[in-house]
Amino acid sequence: DDKLLSEPLKHPDFFSVKELFTLKDLFDARVHLGHKKGCRHRFMEPYIFGCRLDQDIIDLDQTMQHLQLALNFTAHVAYRKGIILFVSRKRQFCHLVERTARECGEYAHTRYWQGGLLTNARIQFGPGVRLPDLIVFLSSLNNVFEPHVAIRDAAKMSIPTVGVVDTNCNPCLITYPIPGNDDSPAAVELYCKLFRMTIIRAKDKRRQSEAVEELR
Amino acid sequence: QTLRLICTTTAVQRKNVGASGPEKYTEAFIKKQIEEFNLGKRHLANMMGEDPETFTQEDIDRAIAYLFPSGLFDKQARPMMKHPTEIFPEQRKIQWGEDGRPFHFLFYTGKQSYYSLMHETYEKLLNVEKYQDQLLAQGLPLQKEKRNLAGSRWLTKIELEEMLLEKLSDDDYSRFIQLLQKLVALPCADMEEKYIQKFSKEVPVQLQKVVIEPLQYDERGVAFSTGEGKRKTARATAVVYDNGTGKITVNGIDILHYFPVLQDREQLLFPFQFLDRIGKHDMVCTVSGGGRSAQAGAIRLASAKALRSFVTEKEVEFMRQAGLLTVDPRVKERKKPGQEGPRRKFTWKKR
């Protein structure tokens, strides 16, 4: 059992996450497009490549690195049978995100976030509840363009977060930010596809390793 | 010998009710209760000397009322023996498995059944739209059969709460109904007909046509019909005969003697006068209760109802519009405390 858990940690890319996407895929899905210059958040300036006709362009090289780290982390969490919660407050993609979560076998929350869901979970759900081990934000703002409450709550409950941050978002409290577009349907579908493939790969690898262990 | 704790502190005795939340009944507990109920039912049947196989719930209620007579006013407070599914309310069992992972993918939203319902309905909507797009791409026309919305209504909020076993707010309910209406409004919504029927209920048509009774014939071959009427506390029944001379008998007495006042006799004759059949019918009526005027009004209503059988439908409509067939709802108003009568207040004295 110890060998099962420590084996993936010895390799930098145990789940070969780099093969899932290329720079061209990100460009075709319009991930590099940000919001206008006036909407720019101060902490997103390191991730921005430049500005063309007032519209910010996100640096896709940095996005590649961040995305690879984030997908690797989610794969490890899924390998160790962690609970992953997909959060997005964009109404356009609510159905898509819920469908992705259902196909992975993980959980989603794309509706109104009640105040004490994470911090007051014992009383909301019941005494023996298990909180999510990873929260993935496909859009880190809520409908009023403020940072989602779940980012702060996850930081309070020591839950690591992975999030797609656009040029008007605050990447501060997110453990693995992914600078990229969160408004285009193509970009969000790409993210959903990538997360779904990583989680399914990680779970398959886990089942294979367990089968190999049992055979011994 | 075991040591028993005799005195306890108040802190131990006070239960922290807020932290535990509502009690959850496990499946095993409910199963045991059902087995105990069935055993108890057979014991009760043996005690009462009846057949245990054919012992219904009504027999159980009667037996319990006989064995445990109670003078309590509230029926719910008396001893009762019912099937456990009726006593223990249907509750959600624990939502996660042994490893802690919840079963439902929307568990962390809080209202999982409601949001999964919204998710499914939206998926049906998307499917219908995709199908429509396919039809448009092929160039086929879209079907436009209108669903009959008059005889159906959507589920109420309480019924939806019972279906989902979850509390809903008014906003949630209205959003769900709006989504359903949007789905129904699409032209190709027929393919999701089954799904929509789960959330709609039939409203029985409430129009009750008043059946006019046909004429009956007595031994002499004369047609007659009966009618009943009431006014204040008076109740009257009237039998109207055809081929008559216009004679009217009340309780065996002629109307001239029974109703000395002209006004009451006018009331009796009004239905016949309205239909221009004054000398053509005979009437025999019985009346009880009320006063002079009330009895007259009651007989008038009774005779008008009886005359419906002799007359065409148009004339019945005329009678109805004239107010001959409506029961007069005015009754004596009750006296209120602090006042001398129904409306009269006590004399106001300045000092």
- Name the residue among A130, A11, A19 with its Cα closest to residue A76: A11
Of the partner residues B102, B110, B126, the one whose CB lies closest to the CB of residue A117: B110
Contact B108 A95 (CB under 8 A): no
pLDDT score at B206: 67
Q: Tell me, what's the ipTM? A: 0.92
pLDDT score at B13: 47
Of the partner residues A108, A125, A127, the one whose CB lies closest to the CB of residue B105: A108
**Is A118 within a domain?**
no
| CATH code of A32's domain | 3.40.50.10490
Do B7 and B76 contact (CB within 8 A), yes or no? no
Q: Grade residue B176 by pLDDT with cuts at 50, 70 and 90.
A: very high
* Separation of alpha carbons B277 and A161, rounded Å: 93
Tell me: the pLDDT tens digits for B118-127? 999 999 999 9
**Is A14 within a domain?**
no
* Separation of alpha carbons A31 and A57, rounded Å: 9
**Is A6 within a domain?**
no
| Optimal mutation site among A112, A136, A149, interface B, most CBs of chain B within 10 A | A112
Contact B106 A130 (CB under 8 A): no
**Is A11 within a domain?**
no
What total number of domains does chain A contain? 1
Dihedral (C-alpha) B160, B166, B167, B173: value to the nearest 10 degrees?
-40
* Separation of alpha carbons A67 and A16, rounded Å: 13
Chain A residue numbers with beta carbons less than 8 Å from the beta carbon of B21 are: 123, 126-127
Helix orientation angle between B157-164 and B112-138, rounded to the nearest 10 degrees: 100
CATH 3.30.230.10: which residues of chain B?
A: 216-322
Tell me: the pLDDT tens digits for A125-181? 888 889 999 999 999 999 999 999 999 999 999 999 999 999 998 998 899 999 999
pLDDT score at B20: 40
Place of tokens 């005799």: B6
- Name the residue among B12, B14, B103 with its Cα closest to residue A125: B103
CATH architecture under which domain B216-322 falls: 2-Layer Sandwich (3.30)
Interface list for chain A against chain B, based on CB atoms closer than 8 Å: 81, 83, 85, 95, 98, 101-102, 105-109, 111, 114, 117, 122-130, 132
| pLDDT over 90 at B187, yes or no | no
Chain A residue numbers with beta carbons less than 8 Å from the beta carbon of B95 are: 125-126
Do B224 and B240 contact (CB within 8 A), yes or no? yes
Tell me: the pLDDT tens digits for B16-51? 443 344 556 677 888 899 999 999 999 999 988 988
pLDDT score at B151: 75
Q: Report the mean per-residue pLDDT for chain B.
A: 86
Long-range (24+ apart) CB contacts under 8 A made by B195-199 are: B195/B120, B195/B121, B195/B124, B199/B154, B199/B155, B199/B160
Q: Distance (Å) from the C-alpha of residue B23 to the closest C-alpha of chain A? A: 10
| Optimal mutation site among B96, B109, B114, B130, interface A, most CBs of chain A within 10 A | B109
| Optimal mutation site among A80, A85, A86, A129, interface B, most CBs of chain B within 10 A | A129
- Residue in chain B closest to A85 (alpha carbons) equals B108
**Is A50 within a domain?**
yes
Domain range holding A180? 21-113+129-215
Q: What is the DSSP letter of B277?
A: -
Amino acid (one-letter) located at B107: F
- Name the residue among B32, B20, B166 with its Cα closest to residue B91: B166
**Higher-pLDDT residue of A207, B140:** A207
